[in-house]
Structure 1
Amino acid sequence: MNNFSYTKVSNVQEAISELDGDIRNKIVAGGTNINDLLKYFITKADKLVDINPVSENNSIIRLDNGGIRLGALHTNADTAYDPIIEERYPLLSRAILAGASAQIRNMATNGGNLMQRTRCYYFYDINTPCNKRDPGSGCSAIQGYNRIHAILGQSENCIAVFPSDMCVALAALSATVNIMGPNGERNLAFAEFHRLPGDTPNIDNNLKHGEVITSIDLPRQGFEKNYSYLKLRDRSSYSFALVSVATGFEIENGSIKEARIALGGVAHKPWRNTEAEDFLKDKEPTRENFTAAATILLEGAKGYQQNAFKIELAKRAIIRNCFMALNPESQRPGAKPSL
């Protein structure tokens, strides 16, 4: 690990001042990802700015518009088990609890969850080419072992996937990211926060140097009656998704009035296609319609040597999760499967 300076701050403005717009200065909160990045020499820091003492971003509050604001420093565990989240946004609670381990969820923060980096094997191996780690060096995964890699939104420069579970639910819920920086406050729709690799796979998101995530806003609609989060992985705990699906429905008189479907484990960012969601509006929740929506959602999917199976896996996962969302009780341990 390289030498760096360390400072604690008590408010967001102090953090912004300490960052000074310099990419070599880094924020640390829970540290569940950045510590690894530093230890493996993937990320270098001249200064670590510890924002844990910042109290104003460590809570969950109700908004006047009926939504909820998640503090960026609130932990994943406290968020998942908060009574408001469990009652009104159970999709988010289930997604968080599907990720990492209990110990990591106790440390990891909501803001940090958005900022975590890929778990691509080659990204973590500094002896191999990786455009995300070393722009212009090449992508070892394309011709290498790529079982966990992207099938959507990838480019010739990078086929890594974004690892978060929480963010898949936030994408489905159409959250908003609140940001503060040297030029004041701004808000980003969640769909605009993370980036596809394109020609700059080293840039994961649209947060600017010197900016800090302060909170995440959830809209009033939480799909608490019809929702499901399905995570398919190689082992049942502490494993990243091969494919994950967050689904929320608003159903009236046997017809789908609102549909949200987001995928994880398949792209450089949580993947949504509003055409698939629009297709389901005013239609009955049938296998035929779910299959058609899955086909639209996976349009343009491309597999590689070891991960082509993920295309069919994702299609089946979407259909299965849509049925699960019709009966959230089916997700409880010991419940009879929906299919």
Structure 2
Amino acid sequence: MADVARLAGVSGQTVSRVANGRQNVDAVTRARVKDAMRQLGYRPNGAARALRSGEFRSIGVIVFELSTFGTTRTLDAIATAATARGYSVNLMPVLAVSRQAVADAFTRLGEQAVDGVIMMIEAQVLDDVQLPVGLPVVVVHAGVHYDHPVVDTDQMQGARLATEHLLGLGHKTVWHLGGPPSSYAADQRRRSWEQTLRDHGCDVPPLLIGDWSSAAGYDAGCRLAADDAVTAIFAANDQMALGLLRALHEHGRTVPNDVSVVGFDDMEEAAQFWPPLTTVRQTFADIGRRSVDTLLAEIHATDDHAPVAVPTELIIRHSTAPPHSR
């Protein structure tokens, strides 16, 4: 810093103001200091600055199941939002969900000096995980039992929209292909589907369980295709809906004339399925942005712990129609 000050012909305090982004330096002097920094290859020492300010400008993200559609989209949105706010992201994957694995992830992030953590692990087995005291934490896609802010899609609203859409077309009931029992999102969608049917006085068919994959959708579709009473299916995600469409086609059940299908997510490819898929859109960009905003509010103690529910939207395409339409 002293070398920069000598080359620029200014004081060390002026260099410090420029390096820390202060505004009380005139434009000509600021340009001269920055030019000296470039010539000398000077970069502000972030670690030293963090020790002085107590802020590292870094957030940790603990995540499980990196390959799932929702996780990748939410991570992308978190990284974009954090970068826009001047924060780096330290990703900590958890390969096997357990209380100890999550505790170890928090320990490792603590050693890497982060200002707060976004936790993207929705497995219900983590109900009683002790999250660290004193470290700001935001939980994404989970139940609201934590003493930390929770940000999630309004899963129950989305499932209700899907189920009521099919009932509104005239279907007597709606079958459901749910996600894994360990998933909060799958559980909320299942409960909302079931409650919506009961609220409308409809029978609740047996639940089918999948693992979010198109292969699981195909297996379930092969079973459902054999039952002529099945005229409407709500799949808990678009990938399983894709497998359903293939199975129904192979078994001679046309969509939507014989069977209507609704998915959940509105992945980019959903509009290119055949037929184009009616689905529930959850906006992962909003979830990521709200997660970062909520965490930064926690870091700076400017907000309460109220959960954030991001609204969903039903996107109607050509995979749904009144029953037996010709």
Instruction: From the CA coordinates, give the structure whose radius of gyration is larger.
Output: 2
Q: Which structure features the higher share of helix residues?
A: 2
Structure-1-length-normalised TM-score? 0.24
Structure-2-length-normalised TM-score? 0.25
